[in-house]
Amino acid sequence: MTFESLGLSPALLRALIESNYTTPTPIQAEAIPLALAGHDLLGGAQTGTGKTAAFSLPLLQRLSKETPPNGPRKPRALILTPTRELAVQVAESLKTYGRHLRLNVTMIYGGAGMGPQMDNLRRGVDILVATPGRLIDHMERGTAKLDAVEVLVLDEADRMLDMGFLPAIKRILNRVPKERQTLLFSATFEEQIKALALEFMRNPQQVQVTAKNTIAETIVHRAHPVDGSRKRDLLIDILTKRHTDQVLIFGKTKHGCNRLAEQLETAGLKAVAIHGNKSQAQRQKALRDFKMGKARVLVATDVAARGLDIPNLPLVINHDLPMVAEDYIHRIGRTGRAGAAGEALSLVSPEEGGLLRQIQRMLKVDLVMDVVQGYAPSKPIRLDTPIPRNGGGQRDGGQRPPGRPANRPHGRPAARTSHAGPKQRSGGGQGAWAGPKHGSRA
Ligand code: AMP
């Protein structure tokens, strides 16, 4: 399977060669021909599968073949993403893949000034990448015009719904022309997503890659039982002993992540934090410092880390277990990539027994419980411990839709849901793709 055989234009093929992409990933092999043929698509894929190129390449090809209408250029493609970071990444990818085309890519997202975004929109846009809330602000001011949109992409739709964006998404969907192509990507297909697809898509084809709940076999998983109050000391102990490794640490709350980063700094460990309360500039800087090795430790909440192109890491530590079991897979997917060895450590307090059960049920395997000398918990970890309503603190999840408590696991693996509408295709496992190439993103 090659990119040529998928029917991509020479200008795109050239950009792919320059990015060192040789083989399409399974989702690309499945989705690109269908999207090029004009179908609506429901793509079951997570970050790291190459889904960005799967929707970007057909979209770029379509727009580059058309002559844009006269007058100021209004967006002909709109891509909605849950977070600013993902918007930045998607826009960068579009610019990289479209570098030999003359299409303008513009971003709008919250946490940044409206003025420059308005100027960019006024200058003319072919492809608009936006977070839903900020797009609504621009729509209300009349600065974003969506009546020329031909292709609409909903990226990480499940996460957008988790963040409470359903009303905004519906408003946006009602404002784009009915005659359009819609591509929806999601790691899960729960009821709300199916309802969205049925209401707003035309006979979508379904493309599903990799059984969702699989994890790289090269990752070693371990859990350290420890009292909540001693997690920080244990963490510092681990980090001090393994002084060479870069590590990504997941925490539950924005406040907790900040405090932890400060405490690690006090202990002499260079740490940065990213979460929903940080400004865009702060988040980008923290990520840059981490990627460049200026900071050894990155402390993040799930929301902030979602979709980030973080390089392969030897070690991921769950300071707190995730409320949603599927996030465990997402978190540890940052290690053990492309056949490299990786390690996932989880610090588990007796209060988190129920969360541990949730994860083990999903993984269909029990984590090795490894008590660190001097840190044995005061109570045993019991799997029947009830999951606290609010997870013991406010999660970094933005605003939530009514009826969606913060601790409700969000949906089932896509592979297990049946959806009467779209035709199911399976692209998992084929091809010679060995995982993402790091550093290939511009
Ligand atoms: P995504 O799932 O779209 O976030 O992509 C994950 C990573 O894989 C990014 O760093 C991409 O640059 C990279 N990538 C995507 N498609 C390919 C491909 N066909 N060959 C090599 N790397 C790829």
**Pairing assessment for the beta strands 315-318 and 247-250 based on DSSP bridges:** parallel
Q: What is the CA radius of gyration of the chain?
A: 22
Kindly report, residue by residue over 144-157, the tens digit of the pLDDT. Answer: 999 999 999 999 99
Q: Does domain 215-442 have CATH number 3.40.50.300?
A: yes
Q: Is the CB of 440 under 6 A from ligand 1?
A: yes
d(CA 289, CA 434): 27
DSSP string, 339-395: G--EEEEEEE-GGGHHHHHHHHHHHTSPPEE-PPTT---SS---TTPPPPTTTTS--
Q: Is the CB of 79 under 6 A from ligand 1?
A: no
Q: Is the CB of 98 under 6 A from ligand 1?
A: no
Q: In sequence order, what are the residues at sequence separation of 6 or more whose Cβ sits closer than 8 angstroms to the Cβ of residue 274? A: 257, 282, 283, 286, 287, 298, 299, 300, 301, 304, 305
pLDDT the model gives residue 423: 42
d(CA 244, CA 192): 45
pLDDT the model gives residue 331: 84
d(CA 29, CA 27): 5
Q: Does domain 4-208 have CATH number 3.40.50.300?
A: yes
Q: Whose CA is nearest to atom 19 of ligand 1?
A: 24
Name the residue of 16, 52, 81 whose CB sits within 8 Å of the most ligand 1 atoms, as the mutation to test its pocket. Answer: 52
* pLDDT top residue among 75 and 331: 75
- Nearest ligand 1 atom to alpha carbon 309: 10
Q: Are 269 and 261 in contact (CB under 8 A)?
A: no
Q: Is the pLDDT of residue 410 over 90?
A: no
d(CA 28, CA 259): 41
Q: Is the pLDDT of residue 51 over 70?
A: yes
User: Would you list the domain boundaries of the chain?
Assistant: 4-208, 215-442
* pLDDT top residue among 261 and 331: 261
Q: Is the CB of 256 under 6 A from ligand 1?
A: no
> One fold for both 4-208 and 215-442?
yes
Task: Quote the tokens at residue 355.
Answer: 């969360």
Q: Is the pLDDT of residue 307 over 80?
A: no
Closest CA to 153 of 195, 190, 204, 119: 204
pLDDT confidence tier of residue 60, bands split at 50, 70 and 90: very high
- Nearest ligand 1 atom to alpha carbon 441: 12
Q: Ligand 1 centroid to 40 CA: how many Å?
A: 22
